[in-house]
């Protein structure tokens, strides 16, 4: 008989699932397409990375955020070493990591990217800086490989898929990120952001970044075919929704400052339906 987590850990898994549904319903529904025994582990991983992201976004001094991120990472490492955590979120990942042989040590790269979000202000001056940041956040891809049943040979493509998702997020969130004092896309001019104007040069750069994101998604097309049949729908759904975000931005002339970049419910539904038919 398979080992079942104790009540406190089960509650932590449920808390992570609720958090994902509330904060990122696209990924929640994608996870729902996966086999039932894989879903809790993905919810647990989401809970950890979302917690780190929230710490990095908190409106408190940089030093306080960095200290909180250190404590967050330490709680996971301590829990893994002892085999248990009393933390209401991290307890789930402490259970899921050994249960599914997740390479959680790779999350150090993710945490380093979150620490860079604490800079005041955040400015990615070169494409190399941006790539290093995205590579850090995309370490989540290889971490989930065991949950997706991905062959070892596909781990690099999983990382690239994570970069594609992250770049799509950064394109979508230019306005909100600017409000937090952050400029991730190195080709954007602060003068345009200060004035809130979608100038020709801003639109041109967003169009270039969209092409780059599409190229990254295209690089990972073979990944889906290499995954077990029962997990493909979830991956296709996430890719379809993020691709629809890029489509919407393009239809609006790559204006990410004065036009909404969020998908309308019907746009999300169309993207999901197309992915499920694929």
Within its chain, how far is the Cα of 247 from the centroid? 19
Give the distance between the most distant pair of CA atoms in the chain: 62
Task: For residue 74, give the DSSP letter.
Answer: H
Strand partners, 123: 183
SS (H, E, C) 159-176: HHHHHHHHHHHHHHCHHH
* Residue boundaries of the structural domains of the chain: 1-119, 121-278
Measured distance CA(59)–CA(73) in Å, rounded: 20
Rounded-to-integer distance, Cα 236 and Cα 265, Å: 18
Amino acid 2: pLDDT: 47
- Residue 202 sits at φ, ψ, to 5 deg, of -65, -45
**Predicted pLDDT of residue 19:** 97
Does this model's pTM top 0.75? My answer is yes
For the stretch 190-207, pLDDT in tens is 999 999 999 999 999 999
Q: What is the pLDDT of residue 4?
A: 55
Output the pLDDT for position 1: 39
Could you list the mean pLDDT of each consecutive 10-residue stretch along the chain, which spans 278 residues?
68 96 91 93 97 96 97 98 95 97 97 96 95 97 95 93 97 96 96 96 97 94 90 91 96 97 90 80
Give exposure, 182-219, as e/b (b: 16+ Cβ within 10 Å).
bbbbeebeeebbeeeebeeebbebbeebbeebbebbee
Instruction: Dump the DSSP string for 20-48.
Output: HHHH-HHHHHHHHTS-TTTHHHHHHHHHH
**Residue 46 corresponds to which tokens in the numbers above?**
């989401």
Cα→Cα distances 15→22, 48, 62, 80, 225, Å:
11, 11, 28, 19, 32
Q: Which CATH architecture has domain 121-278?
A: Orthogonal Bundle (1.10)
Model confidence pLDDT, tens digit, residues 140-166: 999 999 999 999 999 999 999 999 999
Q: What is the Cα–Cα distance from 30 to 272, expressed in whole angstroms?
A: 9
Q: For position 278, what pLDDT does the model report?
A: 61
């Amino acid at each position: 008989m398979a080992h079942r987590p104790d009540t406190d850990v089960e509650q932590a898994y449920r808390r992570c699932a609720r958090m994902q549904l509330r904060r990122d319903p696209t990924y929640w529904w994608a996870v729902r397409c996966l086999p039932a025994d894989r879903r809790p582990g993905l919810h647990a991983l989401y809970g950890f990375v979302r917690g780190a992201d929230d710490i990095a976004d908190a409106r408190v001094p940089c030093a306080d955020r960095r200290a909180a991120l250190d404590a967050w990472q330490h709680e996971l490492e301590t829990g893994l070493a002892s085999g248990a955590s009393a933390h209401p979120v991290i307890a789930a990942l402490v259970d899921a990591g050994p249960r599914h042989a997740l390479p959680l040590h790779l999350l150090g790269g993710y945490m380093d990217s979150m620490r860079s979000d604490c800079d005041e202000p955040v400015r990615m001056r070169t494409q190399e800086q941006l790539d290093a940041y995205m590579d850090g956040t995309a370490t989540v891809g290889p971490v989930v490989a065991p949950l997706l049943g991905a062959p070892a040979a596909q781990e690099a493509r999983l990382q690239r898929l994570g970069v594609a998702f992250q770049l799509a997020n950064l394109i979508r969130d230019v306005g909100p990120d600017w409000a937090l004092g952050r400029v991730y896309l190195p080709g954007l001019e602060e003068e345009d952001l200060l004035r809130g104007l979608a100038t020709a040069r801003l639109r041109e750069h967003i169009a270039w970044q969209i092409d780059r994101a599409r190229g990254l998604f295209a690089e990972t097309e073979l990944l889906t075919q290499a995954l077990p049949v029962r997990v493909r729908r979830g991956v296709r759904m996430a890719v379809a929704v993020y691709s629809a975000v890029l489509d919407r931005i393009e239809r609006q002339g790559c204006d990410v400052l004065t036009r909404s970049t969020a998908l309308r419910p019907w746009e999300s539904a169309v993207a999901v339906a197309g992915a499920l038919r694929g």
